[in-house]
Structure 1
Amino acid sequence: MNKWLVSVSIVLAMVVSNAQAAGDAAAGKAKSGTCLACHGADGNSANAVWPKLAGQHPSYIKKQLQEFKAGARKNDLMSPMAMPLSDQDMDDLAAYFSGQAQSPGVAAADQVELGTKIYRAGNVATNVAACMACHGPSGNGNPGAKFPRISGQHAAYLEKTLKDFRSGDRANDNAKMMQNVVNRMTDKEIAAVAQYLQGLR
């Protein structure tokens, strides 16, 4: 049993070390010039329809860049930006933006009660799963599973993203996990969850 635990610990340490060493944040900063107009110099976008990249998991950033490049995720602005990027470019950009501090957001007070309920408990009556089951109690996600950090994200971006999953305009979620959840959500629930998450820290 002890040998097994030691072996697992060594493998996990190697995986974490490799994940951390994958990108060079300084190189990512140097390569981020084309990202700044939309996502901000520190990854905190000024326009609420563009996502904050600051503090996002590097594994998730890289996954999205790869999928923009491959066409699995489509966006008229991002797809052409991702096309010339190499895997190392993606690793470097992910390392840079993940290391930046996310600016805090504020939730609309009238949306917090419903948003909290849906995020933490779902809606049993309509079979909507609790968001925190995958994204965690504090909205920090799960980097190993490539579930993004969603706490502090712009409400407008989150609301659009959820509606895109619901309509099928976005379909790059693993095993349709997001699509299956959001298909059962109302516009009111989506707006409330997005507001709640904008203020979650």
Structure 2
Amino acid sequence: MFSLKHSLSACLVLAYSHAVPALAADAAAGAEKAAMCAGCHGPNGKSSNSQWPNLAAQQPAYLAAQLKAFKSGARTNPMMQSMIGNLNDQDIENLAAYFAGQPAAKAGGDAALVKTGADKSGMCLGCHGAQAQGSAQIPRLAGQHPGYLVAQLKNFKEGTRQGGPMQSMASTLSDDDMKALAAYFGSL
């Protein structure tokens, strides 16, 4: 269950996400820049490798925020930092608009775990949306690679990835819980 502290953190994240002015994005310009992303994230943002997330249909504000975090070093990944080092804020907004406009991916998940994950998913859906579609700076989980989701949950739990209430939420999950939730969200 969310505590008052978690609820306040979530409200602050949402308030901040609505207070940040967005640049007018050009999805066509983003499509031109997206070629550099295809090697890992796949054509049209649909990755065939569970190590890298699907970007297709992801929330544009979330994508832009993550790219800016990689660029600033607030979120570390040497590959991502080298790939986006020369992008300006407009390029980032354009990429976010392009990927957000792509049809959603469906990664699938271990059928034996999907039911268990569905039963546990309520703890996630309050922030990530009833269909795990995300909103504003809350990421879409639906159709994401289960392996990627498990890795990110572990990173939140270990503290190597920071992010609002996610560290507290992940700290309550066992490895089996993470696998079941990831399977469920990948199946959506």
Fold-level match, TM-score > 0.5?
yes
CA deviation after TM superposition for structure 1 residue 107, in Å:
2.4
Q: CA RMSD in A?
A: 1.5
TM-score in terms of structure 1 length:
0.80
Q: Which amino acid aligns with 2:173?
A: M
Q: Which runs of 5+ in 2 are unaligned?
A: 1-17
Report if the CA contact (8 A) 2:146-2:182 is conserved: yes
State the SS of the aligned residue for 2:50: coil
1:101-120: CA deviation from partner (whole Å, max 9, x where unpaired): 12223221210222112112
Which one of 119, 128, 132 corresponds to residue 125 of structure 2? Answer: 132
For residue 33 of structure 1, report the CA deviation from its aligned partner: 2.1
Normalised to the residue count of structure 2, the TM-score between the two structures is: 0.85
Alignment of 1:145-184 (within 5 A): 146-171=137-162, 173-174=163-164, 177-184=165-172
Q: Which of structures 1 and 2 has the larger relative contact order (alpha carbons within 8 angstroms, sep 6+)? A: 2
Q: 2:185 is matched with which residue?
A: 197
Instruction: For residue 119 of structure 2, give the secondary structure of its aligned residue in structure 1.
Output: helix
Structure 1 vs Structure 2: percent identity of aligned residues?
A: 41
Q: 1:82: Cα distance to partner?
A: 2.1
Equivalent of residue 114 in structure 2, options 112, 115, 120? 112
Distance 1:29 1:87 in 2: 15
Unaligned runs of 5+ in 1: 1-14, 121-129
Does 2:143 align with 1:141? no
Higher mean Cα deviation, 102-111 or 59-68? 102-111
Q: String of CA shifts for 1:24-59, please: whole Å, max 9, x gaps.
A: 011011111211101112100111110000000110
User: Does the 8 Å contact 2:57/2:105 carry over to 1?
Assistant: no
Report how many residues are paired: 169
Please tell me whether Structure 1 or Structure 2 has the larger radius of gyration of its CA atoms. Answer: 1
Deviation at 1:61, TM superposition (A): 0.4
Classify the secondary structure of the residue corresponding to 1:77: helix
Deviations, residues 108-157 of structure 1 (Å, cap 9, x unaligned): 1210222112112xxxxxxxxx11110112101121xx101110101011
By how many angstroms is 1:186 displaced?
0.2
- What is the match of residue 6 of structure 2? none
